[in-house]
Copies of this chain bind each other. A is one copy, B any other.
Amino acid sequence: MIIDCHGHFTTAPPALGKWRERQIKAWEASRFRVLPNELFISDEEIIAAIEGGQLKLQRERGTDVTLFSPGAGKMAHHYGDARTSLHWSQVANDLIARVCGLFPDNFVGVCQLPQSPGDALESSVHASAAELERCVTELGFVGCLLNPDPSDGYWQAPPLTDRIYYPLYEKLVELDVPAMVHVAMSRNAAVQGTCAHYLNGDTAVFMQLCQSDLFTDFPALRLILPHGGGAVPYHWGRYRGVMLDQGRPPLEEALLHNVFFDTCVYHKRGLELLTDIVPAENILFASEMIGAVRSVDPETGRRFDDVKSILDSIEIGPQDRQAIYGGNALRVFPRLERVLHNRKQEEVVR
């Protein structure tokens, strides 16, 4: 089974974006709340969006299951207040749940969290733990996206290793689900979103983890760094060196029991570096589909985000390949196997 651990519903029906726009405008104009139950999207609209988008690419590329989350940039946690974020998360996550219900063989849910910046950060961590629990226990989700910069481009929050986040980590461990560390949009004109803020978020958080004892406090916590870990594997020597400079244990010991990298790197040499540097058991197949880059690479004739075709062309031992393509995901997302199994059972019953 080939599991793509990083897919976003970036092709959601336009009604979703319009609801969000109304929500933000109503709040900004008059502190008025547009409520989750004011969104109407038909099953047909969802089916059209998925069948013409993610499912089509899944089939073309021969992957089986996508761990599917709301559009990451659109999480945009800086808008409104804590309830703005809560309502938006509920709306976005419920829509993902409907996708998973309509395509039970192909999509499993990963939720966004109702994070908020500034004074609302602490209470939003508690709200995030609650929304995570709802999504996992009621909607059958298997993980979440955790935004290390709810200010969306200005890094106003403490590092993810700060105790303020501990209530969420307790919930992650209790539910036995991982978090993919994923920034949202950038509203900073100096830092573009998908090709700067995204990668910088991954890099910044890896270094936060290098400097902390978070995994001593939470030995069972699992974090995934998307986009191939930002700059990290390319600068692996730098991180190895700085751990020595700081008198800290080696990366393998300090981080690699808990930190995983996805394969969203859109060229062969980059993926070769990733698979050479990072142990196979720490790599999860992903294509960030449909996401940051949508063009066809004229050098390969395939879309840049067709990571599977590139990985297929790289020499990787069969065991490692199996681990990267799915084995690791089943280990890092232990609820995934159960969810898929239950869905099969339901199908049999039906």
Contacts and interface: CB of A to CB of B under 8 A. Distances in A.
A207 B196 contact: yes
Contacts of A155: 153-155, 188, 190-191
Nearest to A292: B238
Interface in A98-149: 148-149
A70 interface: no
B204 A203 contact: no
A327 to B, nearest CB: 24
B227 A267 contact: no
Contacts of A267: 236-238, 240, 277
Interface string A261-294: 0000111011011001100000000000000111
Interface stretch (A33-41, A49-57, A241-249, A314-322): A241-249
A92 interface: no
Nearest to A273: B273
Contacts of A200: 196, 199-200, 203-204, 231
A233 interface: yes
A295 B244 contact: yes
A276 to B, nearest CB: 6
A211 B196 CA distance: 12
Nearest to A192: B207
Q: Which of A270, A272, A297 has the most CB of B within 10 A?
A: A270
A235 interface: yes
Given A233-B270, A237-B297, 7 more contacts: A190-B208, A200-B200, A227-B235, A235-B270, A238-B266, A238-B293, A273-B273
12 contacts: A154-B155, A158-B189, A160-B190, A199-B203, A200-B231, A203-B203, A227-B235, A241-B297, A242-B293, A244-B298, A245-B293, A273-B273
Interface of A: 148-149, 153-160, 188-192, 194-197, 199-200, 203-204, 206-208, 210-211, 227-228, 230-231, 233-242, 244-245, 265-267, 269-270, 272-273, 276-277, 292-298, 304-305
